[in-house]
Amino acid sequence: MLKSKEGTEKGEVGFYLKALSLKSLEDVESIKEDVSNRFIVILRITPLANKDVGQLKEAVEELYQFITAIGGDIARLGEERIVLTPPGVKIWRGLV
């Protein structure tokens, strides 16, 4: 097969994009697995925020520590969402 500039075979996807809702702390492990499997995750946090703000803080802190440890990136998208990226994908934050 042909190789692209990025080193992946032609027709092979380098990363995937997935949109999810965070409904409970139990969702955190599967989100970590998705990011480890080269998914960029757009995570809607409102469902858990509406149930328990303390659990939301705990979940976001756990995800932040995980993403930082693996060399990925995490950022807030407005009031309701965060985006998590695997290593090799950085989030442009623009001019502050």
Q: What is the CATH number of the domain that holds 45?
A: 3.30.110.150
According to the model, what pLDDT value does residue 96 have? Answer: 58
Say if 30 falls within a structural domain.
yes
Q: Is residue 77 part of a domain?
A: yes
Judge whether 10 lies within some domain: no
Q: In terms of Cα–Cα distance, which of 78, 76, 64 is closest to 32? A: 64
* Residue 34 domain-assigned (yes or no): yes
pLDDT in tens, the chain (96 residues): 344 445 455 666 799 999 999 999 999 999 999 999 999 999 999 999 999 999 999 999 999 999 999 999 999 999 999 999 999 999 998 865
Give the domain extent around 44: 16-85
Residue 93 inside a domain? The answer is no
Give me the long-range contacts of 45-52 (CB less than 8 A, separation at least 24): 45/80, 45/81, 45/82, 46/21, 46/80, 47/21, 47/22, 47/23, 48/22, 48/23, 48/24, 51/23, 51/24
Count up the domains in the chain and report the number.
1
